[in-house]
Chain A
């Protein structure tokens, strides 16, 4: 695989795009600052008050000395913030911090944790009596997600939804007010953007006669004559065309569209497994079958479309309507998607990486003459990628990740921009 430094670097296409990008950044920054302002209050304050009151109930007012020991995953800065906050709360209750030789009570505050909670334990010693032990608990929040700086062709990710349930796909129809459709194993959820927040408008139950297979996959496809179709193994759900929104689900072996453009290629999905059978509809010119595959991506060329398949046996196949060429093992994972960036050859493949580290990554490849060239640094996610689909306009992709820290599913919209 080529190194990043060996790769072509794209120039920005048009100035207005750049200016828009700057303006968007400014708006985003202001939004972040605005949203962050309520969070300036310490997230630990309630627990600090609770623990201080419990300590005060044991010791009463007086001189104390306090030592804080961190046995949890809290950062050093948080520990210091908690220590200061606790001293402040204790002070307000008449417990003043002094040196240990002047203290009537000494206390060790242990910041500990369990699988779900932070546990703060106070061991209080007064004179020669047995120490008193009191504690408070609070839920551990989800960890923040860090994003790498990008270079060359840059991939940007925007978190659009988080859920405890498995997210199979997310679609964002163009509408006013903005709508979001979330496909989950047992339901399809419709959200509407109101006052900057997604409000759930409806939850539609998916009827399916048989248990879902493991590693369940599903795809939302936006339609013009009705809002969407949802493809699931052996089941097709079609939304109603008129309000109120509903869905009709039925057993179906209809092929799944392989790209957002319904007029192109579809493929049959194995109803009790996690892959496509390899049967194509209507086919790529004369080619109507290929090997069983997990994902496929079109790369439009001047006179034809080159289709790329990530097959179940770990290979990559190129199909152009005439030949089915096995590219061997490119080191790609099971999930690939193509996006229209306008950079380089115009379209790039985004591929997961086989044998990646503990977190899945997504890398952009330009495919000139069937030789993939890395054009972006790998974008690392906070866990394993469970779904990767092209968005409705093919300019962006939707990726779903199960966060390894929280166990929650996170849906991101991935957009490529040309490098500097």
Chain B
């Protein structure tokens, strides 16, 4: 699998798009209107399904540490951090002079309370301007964990959620609408925009209509429609392939034949066709859980369809039961991918039928990677997929490879594709940059007064 020209183009456009350009300096003011499919009913980053709203959190909340464009850790509410020998106990120094949106100061007590709420198993102690975190076991990746949106620093005041982020909540209609206002006193500098209005729970079709009518300047686009949306003259921005599409079995293999049947299914799937035809090259075929751009070794996991070998594997199985494949019937790409998998399986003599999720032996899942740090991303991914936690014995790339290989060897999951996340952005929007992980750094965006 070589880097395609398109992929390189996407990668370079991502990096280039991040820059504040002097061709025209950013303008302060204006309201940005956007829409998204997710319809969160809570803005609490510690909620269990925080991934669905992950792009909203950085607007209202800050984490202690964050990632830059190249996946390097950068200070945010923390100014420095360090671990004692063994990486089990960490000391985090906090930025001075930061306030929550209600004007109260961010203290080490407030930070400790927030982290404890999100991570009940952590022992968090506040003293002066420092927070100490003690874990049950060595945690060399703790700084990257602190960059996860669910570890945003939050003040919970009764039922109210208050953050330190660049925007303050001025209107919150759960599941329907969120209006944010720029904070003049934001520690990282007041955002260029005055306000952001986000319509929630809007279908992709509704979003596209709003975009074409000029009622929204940023909308989500189905990855498989990215090419056609661009061909129709819309400005399309893509992330790195960040969303895993995989088959996940409900339990471990129950016998050697069960394991062999899973191997046969994996060998029978034409991932290349899934990518080129069904999702219109919006992703990359994968044999690994983490994308190659994150690990560099992803290409060693085979992705090629091998029908002959699949049929051989099938022939060695005495009795191959029929499997029920669950998928989200409301997601058109999931449906066509699931149907194609049924056909591929049939070609190797396997019986797979589509079913609803409740009775499925295996299900088709789409899940975005939570972190740019591969060790943390793998842990979060397995947790979200309901797989056993990876056995990471260290923080080297060899340890990561061994842990990911062991997960694949468990045969609980068959990775298929990594998809990009795609948005359509109005030409009026300047300074837009979607980071490799698909986050929206809207504090750096500004609206041009001039029509392109």
A204 within 8 A of B: no
Q: Identify which of A113, A137, A312 contacts B397 (C-beta below 8 A).
A: A137
Q: Which residues of chain A are near B188, meaning CB under 8 Å?
A: 211, 214
| B383-399, CB < 8 A from A | 397-398
Q: Are A312 and B23 in contact (CB under 8 A)?
A: no
Interface 1/0 per residue, B421-439 and A, CB below 8 Å: 0000000000000001000
* Interface-centre pick from A119, A294, A383 (highest chain B CB count, 10 A): A119
| B199-244, CB < 8 A from A | none
In angstroms, Cα B189 to Cα A134, docked, is 45
Closest partner residue, chain A, to B298 (CB atom):
A112
In angstroms, Cα B186 to Cα A387, docked, is 23
**Chain A nearest CB, measured from B22 CB (Å):** 4
| A333-353, CB < 8 A from B | 333-335, 352-353
**Chain B nearest CB, measured from A110 CB (Å):** 6
Q: Which residues of chain A are near B69, meaning CB under 8 Å?
A: 115, 407
CB-CB under 8 A for A214 and B401, given A115-B293, A135-B296, A334-B22 = no
In angstroms, Cα B295 to Cα A383, docked, is 27
| B28-43, CB < 8 A from A | 28
Q: Identify which of B13, B25, B296, B300 contacts A123 (C-beta below 8 A).
A: B300
Closest partner residue, chain B, to A381 (CB atom):
B22
**Which size class do A's interface residues fall under?**
35 or more
Q: Are A117 and B296 in contact (CB under 8 A)?
A: yes
In angstroms, Cα B19 to Cα A216, docked, is 13
Q: Identify which of B16, B192, B444 contacts A404 (C-beta below 8 A).
A: B16
Interface window among A82-90, A96-104, A318-326, A355-363: A355-363
Q: Identify which of B1, B25, B185, B189 contacts A294 (C-beta below 8 A).
A: B25
What is the count of residue pairs linking A and B with beta-carbon distances less than 8 angstroms? 145
B450 within 8 A of A: yes
**Chain B nearest CB, measured from A365 CB (Å):** 15
Q: Identify which of B2, B12, B23 contacts A333 (C-beta below 8 A).
A: B23
Q: Are B186 and A335 in contact (CB under 8 A)?
A: no
Q: Identify which of B8, B15, B24, B191 contacts A314 (C-beta below 8 A).
A: B24
Q: Which residues of chain B are near A118, meaning CB under 8 Å?
A: 296
B190 within 8 A of A: yes
Q: Are A134 and B398 in contact (CB under 8 A)?
A: yes
CB-CB under 8 A for A275 and B19, given A112-B296, A112-B299 = no
B294 within 8 A of A: yes
CB-CB under 8 A for A121 and B300, given A134-B398, A352-B23, A402-B19 = yes
Q: Which residues of chain B are near A314, meaning CB under 8 Å?
A: 24, 449-450
CB-CB under 8 A for A384 and B20, given A114-B294, A133-B297 = yes
A147 within 8 A of B: no
Q: Which residues of chain A are near B19, meaning CB under 8 Å?
A: 383-384, 402, 404
Q: Are A216 and B299 in contact (CB under 8 A)?
A: no
In angstroms, Cα B292 to Cα A388, docked, is 39
Q: Which residues of chain A are near B18, meaning CB under 8 Å?
A: 404, 407
Closest partner residue, chain B, to A213 (CB atom):
B189
**Chain B nearest CB, measured from A32 CB (Å):** 28
Closest partner residue, chain B, to A334 (CB atom):
B25
Closest partner residue, chain B, to A402 (CB atom):
B19
In angstroms, Cα B294 to Cα A61, docked, is 33
Q: Are B397 and A135 in contact (CB under 8 A)?
A: yes
**Which size class do B's interface residues fall under?**
35 or more
In angstroms, Cα B296 to Cα A137, docked, is 9
CB-CB under 8 A for A334 and B68, given A137-B296, A211-B189, A273-B28 = no
**Chain B nearest CB, measured from A140 CB (Å):** 9
A81 within 8 A of B: no
Q: Are A385 and B22 in contact (CB under 8 A)?
A: yes
Which secondary structure dominates chain B's binding surface? loop
Closest partner residue, chain B, to A233 (CB atom):
B189
CB-CB under 8 A for A384 and B21, given A274-B26, A404-B15 = yes
Q: Are A388 and B22 in contact (CB under 8 A)?
A: yes
Q: Which residues of chain A are near B184, meaning CB under 8 Å?
A: 272
Q: Which residues of chain A are near B186, meaning CB under 8 Å?
A: 211
In angstroms, Cα B26 to Cα A275, docked, is 10
Q: Are B68 and A407 in contact (CB under 8 A)?
A: yes
Q: Are A110 and B300 in contact (CB under 8 A)?
A: yes
In angstroms, Cα B28 to Cα A378, docked, is 28
Interface 1/0 per residue, A67-90 and B, CB below 8 Å: 000011100000000000000000
B372 within 8 A of A: yes
A157 within 8 A of B: no
Q: Are B443 and A214 in contact (CB under 8 A)?
A: yes
**Chain B nearest CB, measured from A208 CB (Å):** 10
A386 within 8 A of B: yes
Q: Are A133 and B300 in contact (CB under 8 A)?
A: yes
CB-CB under 8 A for A272 and B22, given A112-B292, A114-B294, A123-B300 = no
Q: Are B23 and A353 in contact (CB under 8 A)?
A: yes
Q: Are A333 and B26 in contact (CB under 8 A)?
A: no
Q: Which residues of chain B are near A356, meaning CB under 8 Å?
A: 21, 23
* Interface-centre pick from B15, B18, B372 (highest chain A CB count, 10 A): B15
Interface 1/0 per residue, A383-403 and B, CB below 8 Å: 111111000000000000010
In angstroms, Cα B97 to Cα A288, docked, is 38
In angstroms, Cα B293 to Cα A119, docked, is 10
In angstroms, Cα B24 to Cα A386, docked, is 10
Q: Identify which of A71, A121, A215 contacts B2 (C-beta below 8 A).
A: A71
B71 within 8 A of A: yes
In angstroms, Cα B401 to Cα A114, docked, is 14
In angstroms, Cα B185 to Cα A384, docked, is 27
Q: Are B71 and A116 in contact (CB under 8 A)?
A: yes
Q: Are A354 and B398 in contact (CB under 8 A)?
A: no
Q: Which residues of chain B are near A137, meaning CB under 8 Å?
A: 296, 397
B27 within 8 A of A: yes
Interface 1/0 per residue, B299-341 and A, CB below 8 Å: 1100000000000000000000000000000000000000000
Q: Are A335 and B22 in contact (CB under 8 A)?
A: yes
Closest partner residue, chain A, to B2 (CB atom):
A71
Q: Are A335 and B26 in contact (CB under 8 A)?
A: no
A–B complex contacts, Cβ < 8 Å, 29 sampled: A71-B2, A71-B3, A110-B300, A112-B296, A113-B293, A115-B71, A115-B372, A115-B436, A121-B296, A121-B300, A123-B300, A135-B401, A137-B397, A211-B185, A211-B187, A211-B188, A213-B190, A272-B184, A294-B25, A313-B449, A314-B450, A333-B25, A334-B25, A354-B23, A384-B23, A386-B22, A404-B16, A405-B15, A407-B69
Q: Pick the 7 closest A-B CB pairs, nearest first.
A: A119-B296, A385-B22, A384-B19, A334-B25, A214-B189, A333-B23, A384-B21
- Having A314-B24, A358-B13, one finds 12 other A-B pairs with CB under 8 Å, namely A73-B3, A115-B69, A133-B297, A135-B397, A135-B398, A137-B397, A216-B189, A272-B184, A275-B25, A384-B19, A404-B12, A404-B18
Q: Which of A's residues lie within 8 Å of B, judged by CB?
A: 71-73, 110, 112-119, 121, 123, 133-135, 137, 210-216, 272-275, 294, 312-314, 333-335, 352-356, 358-360, 383-388, 402, 404-405, 407
